[in-house]
Structure 1
Amino acid sequence: MSTTFLKGIDVSHFQGSIDWQTVAKQVDFAYAKASEGNSVTDPCFSANYAAMRAAGVARGAYHFLHADVDGAEQARHFLGLLGTPQAGDLPPMLDVEKACGTQCAAIDSCALAWLKQVRDALSCTPLIYSSRAFWNSNLAGCAALTDFPLWIAEYTSAAAPVLPQGVSSYTIWQHSQTGKLDGIAGAVDLDLFNGSAQALAQLARPAR
């Protein structure tokens, strides 16, 4: 893989207790799951989010979308957990990978409601995470979603992921879900930022 990528991970309660001081020596950034739906809170979010910053890891938070629940309500739930962003924090990410029994238009509408509310509240542009297969089957008909940076999940040894329909670039690539790092027991998702350290820092600047 290209040496120009910056290394990152995304975690949730599935990783259990994490030694972030040790992890910080191996990654450039990390995201922690904060919430899903309009009521579920990841039990490890508060501890992870505070420890990431204390260890000097560029940190972000993400929300797992329930497409059958009002997107604005989900955004309010997430924002309440996130609190006030601090200098250097990365923009939030919206994980869109399950249809929850809804049709494409409903998924699109729900995702956009969350993305726009979070963008307006934080003055930064959130990322949208999805696999190529899910995007092509459920999201490709919504051009407005391409206004948000793509975090693509594709597990391959290739030098770059294949992009979904209607998408011309990606920002982060989740290239493995079976990674191993010192400081984490068990498997962890491995991510690559498609750019420089300066470009990563730019993500947290106010949306234009």
Structure 2
Amino acid sequence: MSSTFLKGIDVSHFQGTIDWVTVARQVQFAYAKASEGNSVTDPCFSANYAAMRAAGIARGAYHFLHADVDGAAQAGHFLDVLGEPQAGDLPPMLDVETACGMQCAAIDTCALAWLAQVRKTLSCTPIIYSSGGFWNSNLAGCAALTDFPLWIAEYTSAAAPVLPQGVSSYAIWQHSQTGKLDGIAGAVDLDLFNGSAQALAQLARPAR
């Protein structure tokens, strides 16, 4: 585990209008929800994503996976919503936290299809987000998923999260879902990047 953490947040339309200039004084990176399934677009994504970059925050976008919908179709939808990536953007994140009534093998197949298509299209390795409990119950049998950096959700006051089965490290830790920041009305997810500013920059997408 790194002794240095960088502070970040992840947001969606649930946070409403955000004062990103104020937020930029408190965090080093942020992710905004872009899409869900194969048709839903977060109504605040476009405004959030542009304002994050304008405020000087290292930015990323994420997709909420529906395991009962074709993964490649969901990747296509996400990429359409994301648009042309810019130099310095962080790799996309895939939020895998609901089974949608599907068995483990189907969830794995769906997630891997999304991850593979996004990695091929954007020439970067996406991050996979999940809780330890969901991972252990639904994803632990798929070794291929451990090829992707993990964003672990665990709400604890401990110094580090407990890693899921078969996982030896993590990139980002969502340690609270009830955080408070100036510039955001209401609660927001709080995250820690497990590394230095240089390491975060190395994740960022190069100019094409």
Give TM-score, length-normalised by structure 2. Answer: 0.97
Name the count of aligned residue pairs: 206
Q: Which residue of 2 aligns with 1:77?
A: 77
**Aligned residue runs from structure 1 range 28-43, under 5 A:** 28-43=28-43
> Match of 1:111, SS?
helix
Q: Give the aligned residue type for 2:66.
A: H
- Distance in 2, Cα, partners of 1:204 & 1:58: 8
**Aligned residue runs from structure 1 range 24-103, under 5 A:** 24-103=24-103
Q: Which residue of 2 aligns with 1:139?
A: 139
Runs of 5+ consecutive residues of structure 2 not aligned to the other structure = none
- Distance in 1, Cα, partners of 2:203 & 2:126: 9
Give TM-score, length-normalised by structure 1. Answer: 0.97
**Aligned residue runs from structure 1 range 139-178, under 5 A:** 139-178=139-178
- Distance in 2, Cα, partners of 1:66 & 1:60: 20
* Contact 2:170 2:194 survives alignment (8 Å): yes
- Distance in 2, Cα, partners of 1:145 & 1:66: 17
Q: Give the aligned residue type for 1:157.
A: S
Q: Which residue of 2 aligns with 1:129?
A: 129
How much is the aligned-residue C-alpha RMSD, in angstroms?
A: 1.2
The 4+ residue runs of structure 1 with deviation greater than 6 A are none
* Contact 2:152 2:174 survives alignment (8 Å): yes
> Match of 1:46, SS?
helix
User: Residue by residue, what CA displacement relative to the aligned partner does 1:80-100 show, whole Å, maximum 9, x if unpaired?
Assistant: 011111111000000000000
User: Residue by residue, what CA displacement relative to the aligned partner does 1:52-89 show, whole Å, maximum 9, x if unpaired?
Assistant: 00000000000000000000000000000111111110
1:11 equivalent in alignment to 2:24 = no
- Distance in 2, Cα, partners of 1:4 & 1:200: 11
Runs of 5+ consecutive residues of structure 1 not aligned to the other structure = none
- Distance in 2, Cα, partners of 1:6 & 1:169: 16
- Distance in 1, Cα, partners of 2:31 & 2:205: 17
- Distance in 2, Cα, partners of 1:201 & 1:143: 27
Identity across aligned pairs (percent)?
90
- Distance in 2, Cα, partners of 1:133 & 1:145: 15
Q: CA deviation at 1:205?
A: 4.4
- Distance in 2, Cα, partners of 1:24 & 1:160: 25
- Distance in 2, Cα, partners of 1:68 & 1:205: 30
- Distance in 1, Cα, partners of 2:84 & 2:13: 22
